[in-house]
Amino acid sequence: MNEKKVVEIKNLVKNFGVRGFQTRVLKGIDLTIYQNDFIAIMGPSGSGKSTLLNILSTIDKATQGSVFIDGKDISKINNKELSKIRRDKIGFVFQDYNLLDTMTLQDNIVLPLSLNGVASKVCLEKSQRLANMFGLSAHLTKYPYQLSGGQKQRGATCRALITEPEIIFADEPTGALDSKSSHDLLECLKLVNDQGQATILMVTHDAFSASYAKDVYILNDGTIKCKLSKGADRKEFYDRIIEMQASMGSDFS
């Protein structure tokens, strides 16, 4: 295991509501994500997995506990430092792509670099390299409305990767895709992870998607209930995830 810690979570608690009428959604989560990990977080509806992702990706704040990204406790730094971590250390992949309709796919992919003043030549070289890896080279001049859902999501993933972040947070990345598009995207994510280009944390309800990860953590009732680790065979890993879901008797949708 690579010993470089990318994200470290200590006794993470999240409450919603006002004092006296609070609901505790996360109940003391501890988790360490190392460089080049590929982790899937699964759990029934209401288990807290989306809340956990929102806190890790700096969208929300914890009630108590610590989250360290790149060695810095994100609850104790100012907004300027937090913005820098978002810009330089974190990449996001959302279920609904979030591509800008008025820009070509290539312009969407290079947008994070363009906003940071990176030279056009560097932007183009990086976008073309990623597009080739994700099977998008022939589509760079197209606009989002001209692309399939799978092409748009692979483009959104290229955009997340182009800044070479410490970690990619993926929120149900296959949720709006058909089976073939899901397979294509997951194969691409596995490729960049295997090549050491990305540490990935993915929230998903789908056992097929989760089987591409190296480790699966099951969240239920605000706590981590168990961890499953992949062996040599992805199909065997998928079967174990399905068995675990069945044993919990919960709806993971």
Mean pLDDT, the chain, whole residue set: 93
List pLDDT tens digits, range 12-71.
999 998 887 889 999 999 999 999 999 999 998 888 999 999 999 898 999 999 999 988
Whether residue 120 is contained in a domain is answered as yes
- Domain assignment of residue 216, given as a range: 5-248
pLDDT of 130 > 80? The answer is yes
Determine how β-strand 200-203 pairs with β-strand 38-42.
parallel
Whether residue 253 is contained in a domain is answered as no
| Count of residues making up the chain | 253
Whether residue 32 is contained in a domain is answered as yes
Tell me if 101 sits within 8 A of 144, measured CB to CB.
yes
pLDDT of residue 251: 66
Whether residue 78 is contained in a domain is answered as yes
Would you say the pTM of this structure is higher than 0.75? Answer: yes
pLDDT of residue 95: 87
Whether residue 210 is contained in a domain is answered as yes
Whether residue 58 is contained in a domain is answered as yes
C-alpha count within 13 angstroms, C-beta hemisphere, residue 229: 3
List pLDDT tens digits, range 116-129.
899 999 999 999 99
pLDDT of residue 250: 65
- Phi and psi, residue 192, nearest 5°: -70, -30
Whether residue 226 is contained in a domain is answered as yes
List pLDDT tens digits, range 71-103.
899 988 888 999 899 989 999 998 889 999 999
Residues facing residue 228 across a β-bridge: 216
Q: Which regions of 128-214 does DSSP assign to beta strands (E)?
A: 167-171, 200-203
- How many structural domains does the chain have? 1
Domain harbouring 23, CATH code: 3.40.50.300
CA distances from 72 to 7, 17, 81, 82, 201 (A): 9, 28, 10, 10, 18
